[in-house]
Structure 1
């Protein structure tokens, strides 16, 4: 199968041009010149061009990443309380009412619960990756399975590439966490890349030469680089050099005091810093400052240092201190929502609290939980769309979808549409067209 076509498009492609291509002894994709058949890729492009979706007006997007797999039944979709000692399936914690009538969340989300009218809960997100964290993380960032032929861009990179920065002197995409190909631009190249940092004590490192590199030494390096450019004359090597030079130019552009000033969190009041909480809260406060400066997309990794010993990957006794993670998320997330609202940025900013998969209702032999990808929750806030709603229903143990499934491509299509990006537009990996989503459709009821 052509890796750039989803199943629906592949079936249509086969019906329109595949048979004729095979009868002519040609592989798919070489059927464009066959008389009377036409180009399957152009037909698909025409089909995509006819599809129109409502476009939102959000200027920014924030993804809060709960690495390890946050259990829906212990956070956004609680059910009857279980008991690991008695091997009774269910939630680990009690549940509380929210500002959305009939919608409950975990008792440790007590700060978010009263402001849930600013939120949209997607309770029926699903994919088919179960036991591989890296593959599931890639799926939730790129919307596609890992491919042997192309590295797909992340949702952050696509938005950065399509929209660019919303202000001068700042990057379009900042990652507060460890760098990863999964978060990167894939075939989009440097224009969709991120600037990253792993703490809030200082700005990104490496934008300027080290102090030991004196001007004469830097000049020699530049001269050597010039000679390397002259030696690499092939189109492929020139493209790599152009990408490299683009990154160097961007680093030099950001090296000045304007961008670095954003990282001075001490310029904020002590009360506000305390409202956000500890290290993760300070990352979220920094996120607000980045958005105000014009950064288009920010991903914030939660709990880099495993507050409870295991992070969100709560097998065995890792679940015992899971409430500390939930409380830390609750404090920082609620503070970010209210802070953006006070600064009149909430309707302009889509917040997405995502994870690689959920957790089953049953407890494992050690009292914790395994992995569950076919039904889990993603919480959103702001964005100028319909809030105060929960999309989809799950069964009595949050294990199966009852109504309104939301695929990962659908979730990404919704994010793109909210941010004014057409989810069916085609990007190009070299000369090959790649739709931004794998056939995803936005959750249209949020735009009414």
Structure 2
């Protein structure tokens, strides 16, 4: 079915409004019985998603192909990678130049080479990001929860003073903002399971404490007054009993966080030694987000997503100057991701923390979509490259992309899948879908792939129809 931006927004808004009238999403008797009979042994307690929104080119990052250096008059069809390959700590595994630090910690993790994004028609970033974060292809008549909300609802917080689902770095001030909002919610599960947003990591502590000068007594009075105001809110007036309770629970959770000095310390990056802080700071908002994720994991957070925010034509959305911009993007992620792995390992937390480094799809010089299912080109590629602005991976490629996994029970120094060495550099062995990736993340947390809640008198699964199983070969 062909869906344009207007259709996507309309259906997403309708699904969100419909969620207001929904009853409490309960576990079905069959699901409860199955969980009781055969509980899964979790290999992870916490998940950290490091989201590189915009479409990271795998052949210029974690899956290098033949290197073709820049020169004027270059035939773009000859360009597969714009960086030379460098060895990692794992025998036979190479990354592209500029990712040496991550390469040195790959003996702690797994590289998936063959993530295949879904065929959703004309490529729209927010649509693919919606699919990645919910495992459901839009549009839907039910508001699908973000993966973090599924985890929050099913497992709850590790530390009751902390939000179970924390989103670091996401903003809604750029293009496609309404579409992005559509999946940064708990959907039908209710607002208490939605993300706790922190845009700027180095200012996070200010978001979790009362205003300066406010006494505990005054803060308590404001809290009581605010709860009275909620009684006149649209949800309290027109929502279902579940939605009304969920809103009140989310307010209680926020109050508990604001009232806990010990929990607030986890959000305070100023307590970090300068040398550690500076290692992460080279990555800007994303890098400091990785540092905050480490501190939150230490404090008992359950699900954390870190991103630089998605902005059309910025960061990984490289429609031009792909090679030049990629140098800066690698500097943003290389040291922070590697340091996060090392820090968690040093604190004996890595084995029970699953780190997922992902993006919505890859990029290629020539192919838009998949070789067997091309879609309308969005980037003009000249017959000859006469300037650096045309040297890089600029078209959206969904045939194969890279995902990194660390800790949480996954294999160490392992590579899953195989891609072609020549264009189209697509998947040739062991493709991985969004649904399989989600099922595998849930499996690490001990959540069955067919886990579901009843909404509108029918089951809604963590992955569509609950039939997609995890990739057990990823686990050690």
* TM-score, normalised relative to structure 2: 0.77
Task: Give me the whole-angstrom Cα distance separating, in 2, the residues matched to 1:266 and 1:323.
Answer: 29
Task: Give me the whole-angstrom Cα distance separating, in 2, the residues matched to 1:350 and 1:215.
Answer: 37
Q: What do the CA deviations read for 1:171-207 (whole angstroms, capped 9, x no partner)?
A: 1111002263323211111242111111123236387
| 1:53–1:442 Cα contact (<8 Å) kept | no
| 1:83–1:90 Cα contact (<8 Å) kept | no
| 1:62–1:298 Cα contact (<8 Å) kept | yes
- Which residue in the other structure is 1:338 paired with? 342
| 1:60–1:350 Cα contact (<8 Å) kept | yes
| TM-align CA RMSD | 3.3
Equivalent runs, 1:249-328 vs 2, <5 Å: 249-256=252-259, 257-278=261-282, 279=284, 280-302=286-308, 310-328=314-332
Q: Does 1:350 align with 2:354?
A: yes
- Which residue in the other structure is 1:437 paired with? 463
TM-superposed CA distance for 1:302, in Å, is 3.1
TM-superposed CA distance for 1:223, in Å, is 4.5
| 1:353–1:378 Cα contact (<8 Å) kept | yes
TM-superposed CA distance for 1:291, in Å, is 0.5
- Which residue in the other structure is 2:378 paired with? none
Equivalent runs, 1:137-286 vs 2, <5 Å: 137-178=129-170, 180-203=181-204, 205=207, 222-223=227-228, 225-226=230-231, 232=237, 236-256=239-259, 257-278=261-282, 279=284, 280-286=286-292
TM-superposed CA distance for 1:421, in Å, is 1.1
- Which residue in the other structure is 2:115 paired with? 125
Distance change >3 Å, CA 119–CA 214, structure 1 → 2: closer
1:344 aligned counterpart, secondary structure? coil
TM-superposed CA distance for 1:410, in Å, is 0.4
* Among 80, 88, 92, the residue aligned to 1:98: 88
| 2:443–2:470 Cα contact (<8 Å) kept | yes
Task: Give me the whole-angstrom Cα distance separating, in 2, the residues matched to 1:140 and 1:444.
Answer: 20
Task: Give me the whole-angstrom Cα distance separating, in 1, the residues matched to 2:113 and 2:226.
Answer: 54
2:91 aligned counterpart, secondary structure? coil
Q: What do the CA deviations read for 1:386-407 (whole angstroms, capped 9, x no partner)?
A: 1211100000146311111111
- Which residue in the other structure is 1:35 paired with? none
- Which residue in the other structure is 1:59 paired with? 45
TM-superposed CA distance for 1:446, in Å, is 2.5
- Which residue in the other structure is 1:72 paired with? 58
TM-superposed CA distance for 1:167, in Å, is 1.6
Q: What do the CA deviations read for 1:206-240 (whole angstroms, capped 9, x no partner)?
A: 875898999888766654544779994x7x44333
Distance change >3 Å, CA 266–CA 210, structure 1 → 2: closer
- Which residue in the other structure is 2:407 paired with? 382
Task: Give me the whole-angstrom Cα distance separating, in 1, the residues matched to 2:53 and 2:460.
Answer: 28
Task: Give me the whole-angstrom Cα distance separating, in 1, the residues matched to 2:229 and 2:90.
Answer: 63
2:279 aligned counterpart, secondary structure? helix
Bigger mean CA offset, 179-188 vs 285-294: 179-188
Task: Give me the whole-angstrom Cα distance separating, in 1, the residues matched to 2:134 and 2:233.
Answer: 34
Distance change >3 Å, CA 197–CA 52, structure 1 → 2: same
Equivalent runs, 1:364-379 vs 2, <5 Å: 364-365=381-382, 366-368=390-392, 369-379=394-404
- Which residue in the other structure is 2:371 paired with? none
TM-superposed CA distance for 1:100, in Å, is 1.9
Task: Give me the whole-angstrom Cα distance separating, in 1, the residues matched to 2:193 and 2:235.
Answer: 27
Number of aligned positions between the proteins: 404
- Which residue in the other structure is 2:426 paired with? 400
| 1:53–1:417 Cα contact (<8 Å) kept | no
TM-superposed CA distance for 1:297, in Å, is 0.6
| 1:387–1:446 Cα contact (<8 Å) kept | no
Larger Rg: 1
2:262 aligned counterpart, secondary structure? helix
| 2:55–2:360 Cα contact (<8 Å) kept | yes
TM-superposed CA distance for 1:150, in Å, is 0.8
* TM-score, normalised relative to structure 1: 0.81
Consecutive unaligned residues in structure 2, runs of 5 or more:
2-27, 172-180, 368-380, 383-389
